[in-house]
Chains A and B, each alone.
Chain A
Amino acid sequence: AQTVTQSQPEMSVQEAETVTLSCTYDTSESNYYLFWYKQPPSRQMILVIRQEAYKQQNATENRFSVNFQKAAKSFSLKISDSQLGDTAMYFCAFSAGGTSYGKLTFGQGTILTVHP
C-alpha cells in the first residue's frame, strides 16, 4: 500500500514571494505518478501539476514547479511569485501506473495562505 505524508499543516507567504510545500511518499511500485492538487475554500479540487516517476526532469507549469527526488521519495511543490488566488489547501497525491492508474492516494494537505 502507498502512503503520502505532508508534514506542514499550514504555511504562509507574502504576495510575490516563493514558497515550497513538502511531500514524501512510500511505495514499492516502480511505475507511478505524483500530483499536486489545489482545493480553494469552498471550491472544487483542481490539478496543479503532474510528475511521471520515469521522467528525471522536474515538471513545471508556469509559476509552479516540483523538486522530484526519486531515491528520497520526496516530491515538493514550489510556488513562485505567490498570488492571493493561490490561497488554498494543497494536496500531494500518488497513483500507481498501469491498470491502477487514477486511483489516487492523498496526503493530509497543507493550508497555504498568501498575505498581501
Chain B
Amino acid sequence: DTGVSQDPRHKITKRGQNVTFRCDPISEHNRLYWYRQTLGQGPEFLTYFQNEAQLEKSRLLSDRFSAERPKGSFSTLEIQRTEQGDSAMYLCASSLSSHEQFFGPGTRLTVL
C-alpha cells in the first residue's frame, strides 16, 4: 500500500519533553498538510508545504512547534517542551496540487 503513513502511531510523553512525528506522503504528491484533532472535534489546520517550501502556518502553531519537509519528501513535526494541552491526534495529509487530500492514520500524542 502506498498511502500516507505516519510514525509513530501513538506517543506518550511527560510534560516538558520534546517529541517528533514523521509523515511519509504518497510519493508523487507535492503538497503536504499537518492538522491537529482533539477528541470529538474536527481537525484544525496547522501548516502546509508545497514541495520543500512551508507556505503557511496557523496561529495555532506556537513557537514550540516546528515543521520541516527536507527535499520535498517526508515531513517532520516537532513539539518542544510539551504541555498537556498538546495532547491530540496529529494528522498528515498529502495531495497532488489542487486535487484530493489523502490522510494518514494519525499520531496520537498523550502528554502526562
**A: which residues have CB within 8 A of B?**
4, 43-47, 50, 91, 93, 100-109
**A106 touching B48 by the CB < 8 A rule?**
no
Cα A90 to Cα B29 with chains together (Å): 25
In angstroms, how far is the closest chain A Cβ from the Cβ of B73? Answer: 18
**Is B23 on the interface with A (CB-CB < 8 A)?**
no
**B: which residues have CB within 8 A of A?**
3-4, 31, 33, 35, 40-45, 48, 56, 91, 93, 95, 98, 100-101, 103-106
> Given known contacts A102-B33, A102-B98, A108-B42, is B48 in contact with A45 (CB within 8 Å)?
no
Q: In the assembled complex, which residues on chain B have CB atoms less than 8 Å from the CB atom of A101? A: 98
> Given known contacts A45-B91, A101-B98, is B103 in contact with A106 (CB within 8 Å)?
no
In angstroms, how far is the closest chain B Cβ from the Cβ of A72? Answer: 21
How many A-B residue pairs have C-beta atoms within 8 angstroms? Tell me: 47
Most chain B CB within a 10 A radius of its CB, from A43, A101, A102, A104 = A102
**A103 touching B42 by the CB < 8 A rule?**
no
**Given A43, A47, A109, which contacts B42 in the complex, CB threshold below 8 Å?**
A109
**Given A4, A45, A108, which contacts B103 in the complex, CB threshold below 8 Å?**
A45
Q: In the assembled complex, which residues on chain B have CB atoms less than 8 Å from the CB atom of A107? A: 42
**Given A44, A91, A102, which contacts B95 in the complex, CB threshold below 8 Å?**
A102
Most chain A CB within a 10 A radius of its CB, from B3, B42, B100 = B42
